[in-house]
C-alpha cells in the first residue's frame, strides 16, 4: 500500500470529503503523536469524520476530548497491545467492556479479531449481547465463518466487516447477499483499485451494493498515521472514476449514515 500511495498526485482536500472508517490511536502512538497533532492530520487531509478504536480505549477518549465533532468512538476489547489473539479466552474482557460502556459513549464495539469457531466462545457471545443491549454495531476483523456465527447469535446485529474480510469480491458479494445488515470497509486493501482505477470485479460489486462500502486507512502502527492524508488522496483518485453518487457514498455518505444510526441520542446533534 505504501508504495502505491507514493505515486499518487496530490489532490486538494476539499475536492471530496472522506470519512475514514478504520483508525486506531493506541498507546504506542500517544508520545509520538499528541492528540492535537493527530486531529490536525485528519483535518488537513479533509477527513470529515473518523471511526476510532484503540488499545487501550484511553487513546480514543483522548482524541474525542479534543475533537468531538470529528471523532466517532468505538470500543475495542483490548486493554493493551498483545491481547489480539487472547481476548476471546479471557473472561475479564467482559468486565472491561461493561465498565467502559457504563462510563463512555460509543457507536460500535471493535475492531476486534476473531476467526471461525472462536466466535462462539462465551466472551464473544457476551460481547454480542452487550452490543445488542447498548444498540451498537460490531466491527469484526474476521473470516466469513466467524461473521456467519456472529449473525447466528443475533440475526438483527449490524456488522462492519473490517477489510471486507480480506476476501475475494465473489465471496464478499455472497456475504452481502445473505446479510442485509453487513457493511464492509476497504481498509488496508489496494486490490479494489490497482493502478488507481477500480478493478472491474470490485466495480461491479460496488454498483450492486452502493450503500454498503466505506474507506479506511487502518493506523495499526503509529507510523501509519503519516499515510492518512496520502490514503485520502488515493481514495479520491480511484473514486473519481466512479459515478458521483456512488463515489460519494463510498467516500463518506455510507459511513455517515451508519454512524448516525447508532449515534442517535448519544452524542450532540451534528450541525453539518
Domains of the chain: 2-9+19-263 (3.20.20.140)
Question: How far, in Å, CA of 196 to CA of 214, rounded?
Answer: 16
How far apart, in whole angstroms, are the C-alpha atoms of residue 198 and residue 211?
Answer: 17
Q: What does the CA dihedral 103, 106, 108, 109 come to, rounded to 10 degrees?
A: -30
User: What's the whole-number mean pLDDT along residues 204-210?
Assistant: 98
Residue 267 has pLDDT above 90, yes or no: no
Q: Give the pLDDT confidence of 168-190 residue by residue, as tens digits.
A: 999 999 999 999 999 999 999 99
Average model confidence (pLDDT) for the chain? Answer: 93
Q: Give the torsion sign (CA, 59, 188, 74, 140).
A: negative
In the prediction, which pLDDT does 268 show?
Answer: 73
| Residue 271: pLDDT band with limits 50, 70, 90 | low
Provide the pLDDT for residue 12.
Answer: 40
Q: Give me the percent of the chain exceeding a pLDDT of 70.
A: 93
CB atoms within 10 A of CB 13: 17
Confidence class of residue 111 from pLDDT cuts 50, 70 and 90? Answer: very high
The C-alpha cell of 177 is what?
447477499
Q: Tell me: the pLDDT tens digits for 122-166?
A: 999 999 999 999 999 999 999 999 999 999 999 999 999 999 999
Q: What confidence tens digit (pLDDT) does each residue in 48-100 have?
A: 999 999 999 999 999 999 999 999 999 999 999 889 999 999 999 999 999 99
Residue 266's pLDDT is: 84
Q: How far is CA 65 from CA 35, 59, 188, 249, in A?
A: 9, 10, 27, 28
Q: Confidence class of residue 8 from pLDDT cuts 50, 70 and 90? A: very low
When pLDDT is averaged across residues 9-34 and rounded to a whole number, the result is 83
Q: How far is CA 2 from CA 153, 226, 269, in A?
A: 38, 10, 36
Per-residue pLDDT at 10: 38
- Which of 139, 134, 137 is CA-nearest to residue 22? 139
Q: Which ranges in the chain belong to alpha helices (H)? A: 2-6, 27-30, 35-44, 58-66, 92-103, 122-134, 144-153, 169-178, 200-208, 228-239, 244-248, 254-263
Flag whether pLDDT at 270 surpasses 70: no
Of 207, 177, 174, which is closest to residue 192 (Cα–Cα)? Answer: 207
Q: What does residue 103 show for φ and ψ, rounded to 5 degrees?
A: -95, -30
pLDDT at 272 over 70: no
Position 1 pLDDT exceeds 60: no
User: Are residues 88 and 121 in contact, defined by beta-carbon separation less than 8 angstroms?
Assistant: yes
Residue 7 confidence class, pLDDT cut points 50, 70, 90: very low
What confidence category does residue 210 fall into, taking pLDDT thresholds of 50, 70 and 90? very high
Can you give the pLDDT at residue 264? 81
The answer to whether the bond into 103 is cis (omega within 30° of 0) is no
Amino acid at each position: 500500500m505504501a508504495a502505491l500511495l507514493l505515486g499518487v498526485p496530490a489532490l486538494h482536500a476539499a475536492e471530496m470529503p472522506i470519512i475514514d472508517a478504520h483508525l486506531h490511536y493506541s498507546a504506542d502512538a500517544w508520545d509520538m503523536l499528541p492528540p492535537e497533532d493527530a486531529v490536525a492530520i485528519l483535518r488537513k487531509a479533509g477527513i470529515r469524520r473518523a471511526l476510532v478504536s484503540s488499545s487501550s480505549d484511553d487513546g480514543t477518549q483522548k482524541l474525542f476530548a479534543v475533537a468531538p465533532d470529528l471523532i466517532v468512538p468505538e470500543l475495542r476489547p483490548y486493554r493493551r497491545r498483545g491481547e489480539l489473539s487472547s481476548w476471546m479466552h479471557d473472561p475479564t474482557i467482559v468486565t472491561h467492556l461493561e465498565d467502559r460502556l457504563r462510563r463512555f459513549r460509543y457507536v460500535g464495539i471493535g475492531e476486534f479479531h476473531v476467526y471461525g469457531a472462536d466466535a462462539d466462545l462465551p466472551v464473544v457471545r457476551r460481547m454480542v449481547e452487550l452490543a445488542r443491549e447498548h444498540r451498537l454495531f460490531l466491527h469484526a476483523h474476521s473470516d466469513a465463518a466467524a461473521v456467519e456465527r456472529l449473525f447466528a447469535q443475533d440475526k438483527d446485529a449490524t456488522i462492519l466487516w473490517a477489510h471486507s474480510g480480506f476476501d475475494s469480491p465473489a465471496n464478499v458479494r455472497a456475504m452481502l447477499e445473505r446479510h442485509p445488515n453487513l457493511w464492509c470497509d476497504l481498509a488496508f486493501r489496494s486490490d479494489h483499485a490497482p493502478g488507481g482505477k477500480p478493478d472491474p470485479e470490485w466495480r461491479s460489486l460496488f454498483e450492486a451494493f452502493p450503500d454498503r462500502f466505506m474507506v479506511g486507512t487502518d493506523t495499526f502502527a503509529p507510523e501509519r498515521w503519516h499515510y492518512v492524508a496520502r490514503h485520502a488522496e488515493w481514495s479520491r483518485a480511484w473514486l473519481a472514476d466512479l459515478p458521483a453518487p456512488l463515489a460519494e457514498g463510498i467516500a463518506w455518505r455510507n459511513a455517515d449514515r451508519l454512524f448516525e444510526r447508532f449515534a442517535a441520542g448519544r452524542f450532540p446533534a451534528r450541525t453539518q
